[in-house]
Amino acid sequence: MNDYNFFDVAIEASALKFGEFTLKSGRISPYFFNAGLFNHGKTLHQLAECYAAKLIESKVQFDVLFGPAYKGISLAALVTSILYSRYGKDVGFCYNRKEKKDHGEGGVLVGADIKDKKVLIIDDVITAGTAIKEAIEVIKSHGGTIEGVCVALDRQEVAPNEEISAVQMVEKAYQFPVYAIGNLSDLIGYLKVKGQIEHELIERMKAYQLKYSVV
């Protein structure tokens, strides 16, 4: 049960922008997704509703939702709350610190214990898969079993020196599924039916897809 269209919400939040953007990989992209721009109650809530609906729809079973620092932290907290309030599913919430603390309670992880628990990672976007690999290592080293990853946007881009996408590579290497609320194909489909979108933008999006995506 989800009342919101992810792309509508992302555009309203200005988190999804069109133009010319240089990615971490050096690729020049006609669009960019900046999850940091979900910075108000309304759009944050709507985004979290989209994640929660995706997780319920996927039927993935897990004990703890893990949000990698920094952007994943608030996402995991919000989605954990909605999973309970809307779906009656009460799971734990955990995140990592970027800096290891040597005083107080210490440790790299904060929140629910993940040892011998089923963990689901929530993050914003996967391009080449670099960021997500770090989270996977942290969880494994603390004894958690990863049941999957859920991101807002799968850019469907081919991994460096590979023929499959970064998401497909993560799935193959770690043997768990990656769920995405939306992907580049969905976005192009959305823009086509949206109206008031310049034809030229859709053409640039399609050209980018042809060049870098595996669909």
Residues with catalytic roles: 101, 103
The first and second tokens of residue 82, run together, are 């909605």
Query: Which positions ≥6 away from 106 have C-beta within 8 Å?
Result: 100
Known binding residue 33? Answer is: yes
Known binding residue 70? Answer is: yes
Query: Which positions ≥6 away from 91 have C-beta within 8 Å?
Result: 62, 63, 64, 65, 80, 83, 84, 120
Known binding residue 131? Answer is: yes
User: In angstroms, what is the minimal distance from the CB of 131 to ligand OMP?
Assistant: 3
Name residues contacting ligand OMP, limited to 142-171 (CB under 6 A).
166
Size of the site for ligand OMP (CB under 6 A): 14
Phi-psi region of 143 (alpha: psi -120 to 50; beta: other; left: phi over 0): left
Regarding 126 and contact with ligand OMP (CB under 6 A), the answer is yes
Rg of the chain, C-alpha, whole Å? 17
User: In angstroms, what is the minimal distance from the CB of 166 to ligand OMP?
Assistant: 6
User: In angstroms, what is the minimal distance from the CB of 64 to ligand OMP?
Assistant: 21
As beta bridge partners, residue 213 has: 157
Known binding residue 199? Answer is: no
Which of 48, 114, 128, 135 is in the footprint of ligand OMP by CB under 6 A? 128
d(CA 3, CA 54): 12
- List, in sequence order, the alpha helices (H) in the chain: 6-12, 41-58, 71-87, 130-141, 166-174, 184-194, 199-212
User: In angstroms, what is the minimal distance from the CB of 123 to ligand OMP?
Assistant: 7
User: How many residues would you count in the chain?
Assistant: 215
- Give the nearer residue to ligand OMP in terms of CB position, either 19 or 143: 19
d(CA 19, CA 76): 30
151: exposed, middle or buried (Cβ count in 10 Å: 0-12, 13-18, 19+):
buried
Name residues contacting ligand OMP, limited to 166-205 (CB under 6 A).
166
- Give the nearer residue to ligand OMP in terms of CB position, either 129 or 182: 129
Name residues contacting ligand OMP, limited to 2-31 (CB under 6 A).
23-25
Known binding residue 103? Answer is: yes
Footprint of ligand OMP on this chain (CB under 6 A)?
23-25, 32-34, 125-131, 166
Residue ranges at the known binding site for 5-phospho-alpha-D-ribose 1-diphosphate:
24, 70-71, 97-98, 101, 103, 123-131
Return binding residues for orotate: 32-33, 127, 155
